[in-house]
Amino acid sequence: MSVMIGLEVHVQLNTESKLFCSDSVDTRNKAPNENTCPICLGFPGSKPKLNKKVIDYALMTGLALGCRIPEESFMSRKIYFYPDLAKNYQISQYESPLVGEGYMNLPDLKIRIRRIHIEEDPAKLVHVGGDITSAEYVLIDYNRSGIPLMEIVTEPDFTTPKQARQFLEKLSSILEHLNVYDASKEMSLRVDANVSINGGERIEVKNITGFENVEKALNFEIIRQSGMARMEVKIEREVRHFDAETGTTKGLRKKEYEEDYGYVFDPDLPIIKVDRAWVEKIKSSMPELPDQRVKRFTSQYKLNEYTASVLIYTDKHLADFYEECCKLYKDPIVVANWTTNELQKSLNWRSERINDSKVKPKTFVELLELIDSNVITERYAKELIKEYVDTGTSPKELAKKSIVKLSKKDIESAVKQALDKNKKAVEEIKSGKTESLQFLIGQVLTLTKKQADPKEIKALILEMLKKQ
């Protein structure tokens, strides 16, 4: 079975105002329809004015993806009738996109970019009493109407859902490094995924949020379509909705063709002319991109490529945090290991990104210094970091409150207690079963509240067993 997947990625751009008016894009804590004006409400006679920052961001993204930059492009009216479009058309681009062909390299795969264009976001539909297919009624909030979107369209070069997810993760990192979007905002990146099998008709799954959900939706569609093919049921072109709770897709409507939208040049907006000086100015202002940063991390901090990629592609802010820690601590490899393992585990447990957490470089480095100075063991530090991430309290303060200084006699007493309570494990060790030794070490760690050194515990256990 052959699979073809193409993506249309809609990115809410990180501007202060909307695409065609001066209304703020920040809708947090705003009442419905508060951030609106005659332009984004589509009142007759209102005239849009193009936000130059949106063009800059799209051009910057195009350059980062090796895209061709045409000298001219223009805005068009995409005409369709839906409740979230007050004007009954969306101002977008079709015939003449702002950015042309480009590519992104993935491991063993090159994904072609067909185009990048800009458009306005429609209003937000609030489905009450159900989802898009079952709601009792629908409310419309025009606060989102007119927020600038950048749409990145790929060729159908993906053959597996995993590849699509890898592409989105890398794209997100590039966009974050460019600072053109904020991944923490709701609906900041939405995906329309097109999938077909065996060269047949394509199905479009609309408005998927979350990279994991994109992978799940594509997996479900491939299974669903392959099942239809086995039963010789004709697959017709349609638009479907992904239900994240059930992990399934539901039919919405028959899919339109581009000519159905009746695109027409928007006479209220000028032709966009991009000269070489403009392009060169943007090039000169571009920051370090993720692939370049990975190479620098391997050279400057002596990290292997895998660890550097985890730091950078997991979250730009995590990589920034790592570099701040390296200014305060002597060993960048130790910082990398603790950041990508124990710190990231604790953040994931709390479903937090590093920049939303209470963790700071100065206090994180304190934890590593406590280990270096033998105030706490590495094992105990792995427990202490959980409370540190929860509270943001200085690890030094946490250690002062919780650590009981153990003498060698205290540890010996705990070892003797563990041996006396676990006679079976003792006999198994004597008969050569090394697994029981690890069990006893765990028992002593529990008795010492994980503050004793496992190496010292092991040595004491073996020493005492020799005397028996």
pLDDT tens string, the chain, 468 residues long: the values are 899 999 999 999 999 999 999 999 998 889 999 999 999 999 999 999 999 999 999 999 999 999 999 999 999 999 988 889 999 999 999 999 999 999 999 988 999 999 999 999 999 999 999 888 788 999 999 999 999 999 999 999 999 999 999 999 999 999 999 999 988 877 789 999 999 999 888 999 999 999 999 999 999 999 999 999 999 898 989 999 999 989 999 998 887 777 778 899 999 999 999 999 999 999 999 999 999 999 999 999 999 999 999 999 999 999 999 999 999 999 999 999 999 999 999 999 999 999 999 999 999 999 999 999 888 888 889 989 999 999 999 999 888 776 556 666 767 777 777 777 777 776 766 666 667 777 877 787 777 766 677 777 777 777 776 666
**Residue 76 shares a structural domain with residue 224:** yes
Same domain, 154 and 64: yes
pLDDT at residue 468, rounded to an integer:
66
**Token pair for residue 129?**
């009493």
The pLDDT value recorded for residue 431 is: 67
Residues 6+ apart with CB under 8 A from 444: 411, 414, 415, 418, 452, 457, 461
Residues 267 and 387 in one domain: no
Q: Are 63 and 160 contained in the same domain? A: yes
Are 117 and 251 members of one domain? yes
Instruction: Tell me how far CA of residue 17 lies from CA of 26, 145, 212, 265, 393, in angstroms.
Output: 8, 12, 30, 24, 38
Contact 39, 146 (CB under 8 A): yes
Q: Are residues 18 and 115 in the same domain?
A: yes
Q: Which bin fits 175, alpha (ψ -120 to 50), beta or left (φ > 0)?
A: alpha
Pair (210, 293) in one structural domain: no
Residue 20 to residue 447: CA distance in whole angstroms = 66
What per-residue confidence (pLDDT) applies to 254? Answer: 82
The pLDDT of residue 443? 80
**Which residues fall within 8 angstroms of residue 209, CB to CB, at 6 or more apart?**
187, 189, 190, 191
Beta-strand pair 76-79/89-92 = antiparallel
Q: How far apart are CA 229 and CA 213, in angstroms?
A: 24
Nearest Cα neighbor of 223 from 294, 160, 273, 131 is 160
pLDDT at position 152 is: 98
pLDDT score, position 416? 75
Instruction: Please tell me the total count of domains within the chain.
Output: 3
Task: List alpha helices for 231-331, DSSP H.
Answer: 276-285, 290-300, 305-314, 316-326
Q: Residue 412: what residue type?
A: E
The helix (run of H) or strand (run of E) holding residue 112 is strand 109-120
Q: 270 and 192 share a domain?
A: yes
- Please indicate, yes or no, whether residues 304 and 219 belong to a single structural domain of this protein: no
If we measure between CA atoms, which residue out of 396, 397, 418 comes closest to residue 465? Answer: 418
Domain that holds residue 163: 3-280
- Residue 403, pLDDT score: 57
Q: Does an H or E element contain 430, and which? A: helix 423-430
Are residues 269 and 208 both part of a single domain? yes
Is residue 386 domain-shared with residue 323, that is, in the same domain? yes
- Domain's final residue, options 380, 402, 424: 402
Which residue among 348, 380, 402 closes a domain? 402
Residues 212 and 150 in one domain: yes
Q: Which of 402, 423, 443 is the last residue of a domain?
A: 402
